Amino acid sequence: MTHHFLIANEIELHYLEKNNKLKPIVILLHGLSANANSFESYMKLLDNCRVISVDLRGRGLSEKPEVDYTMKDHALDIIDMMDVLKIDKVILAGHSFGGLLSVYLAVHFPECISKIILIDVAAKMHPDVRELVAPSVMSRLKKTWSTYDEYITNMKKAPFLQGKWLPEMESFYKADCKETENGIESRSSFEHIQQAVEAVLNPDIHWEELITQIKQPSIVINGTETFVNNQVLVSKQFAMETVNMMKDCKYVGVEGNHITMLFGKGAKQTVSAITKFIN
C-alpha cells in the first residue's frame, strides 16, 4: 500500500492505494468517523484488482473544511478524484456511512459506478442507532488523552471491542489520532462529523427510494454479531429488506459486529465475498 494526496473538488484528499496497474478498480469508502486505514485488512487481502481507500473530507489526513459535508459534497469529491486519476468506472465498497454514500453515487452518477458493495448498512438501521453509536464514536471526538498509550488503552475498552481486540486494529486507531499541545486528540472534529450525520438525516434524501433506483449489480455484507447492549446495528431482516429492494442484489452474512467485521475472520470472509462478486 502506498500513501497519496490529490486535489479534488477544491480540497486535498488523502488515500491509500494498492495494485495501481490492475483492473477492476475498487474504491473503499469508510464509516462516519473512521478513516482510510479502517480498510487495511481488506486491502492486504484483496488481490487481482486495484484498490483505493480514501479519507473522506474531514477525516484522517484529508482536508477539513469548516462546512460542506452534505452527501453531494462527499459524492463530488469521489467523482472529481476519479477524474483526476483518469478513472472512468469503479466498483464502490462502502461501510456504514460509506455504504450510504455508495448508494448516493450509484444513483446520481450511474455511468461511473459498475457495481456496489454495501458493508453493514441498510435502508433501515436499528431505531436507536444514534444512542448505540454515540458512546463509542461521537464522544471520542471530544476527548483528549495524555499519551498515545492511554488513548489505545481506552479504545480497547470500547463496548464493541470487549474481548475482541486484534493487533491489526491499532493501525486504524493510530491513523485516527494526532498529537497536539494538549495531548492526543482525534483528527476528526465533532462539528464536522455532526454535519455528516445531518446530511444522512436530511429529509430531502429518501434512502429507501434511492435504493430501489439502483440498477448496478450489488451485494449486502452483514456483520452478524452484536455491537453494544446485545443489539446489532443492521439486523439480517433489515439487510434482506434492502437486498429485496434492489434489482440485482444478494446477501452475505459474516462474522463480527459493525466494527470488528473490518478485521480478523470478518475481514477474510468479507474479502472472500467481494472477490467472488467482482470477478
| Three cell numbers written together for 17 | 492505494
pLDDT for res 132: 65
pLDDT for res 138: 65
> Which has the closest alpha carbon to 36: 222, 175, 138?
175
pLDDT for res 260: 96
pLDDT tens across the length of the chain (279 residues) = 999 999 999 999 999 999 999 999 999 999 999 999 999 999 999 999 999 999 999 999 999 999 999 999 999 999 999 999 999 999 999 999 999 999 999 999 999 999 999 999 999 876 776 666 766 676 689 899 999 999 999 999 888 898 899 999 999 999 999 999 999 999 999 999 999 999 998 999 999 999 999 999 999 999 999 988 888 889 999 999 999 999 999 999 999 999 999 999 999 999 999 999 998
- Count the domains in the chain: 1
The CATH number of whichever domain residue 138 belongs to comes to 3.40.50.1820
Question: Please, which residues have CB within 8 angstroms of residue 229's CB and are 6 or more apart in sequence?
Answer: 132, 159
Q: How many CB atoms within 10 Å of residue 76? A: 19
pLDDT for res 230: 85
pLDDT for res 134: 67
pLDDT for res 124: 81
Q: What is the reported pTM?
A: 0.96
Question: Alpha-carbon distance 37 to 54, whole Å?
Answer: 9
pLDDT for res 139: 64
Ranges of beta strands (E only) in 43-182 are 50-54, 90-95, 113-119, 144-145, 177-180
Range of the domain at 131: 2-278
Tell me if 173 sits within 8 A of 155, measured CB to CB: yes
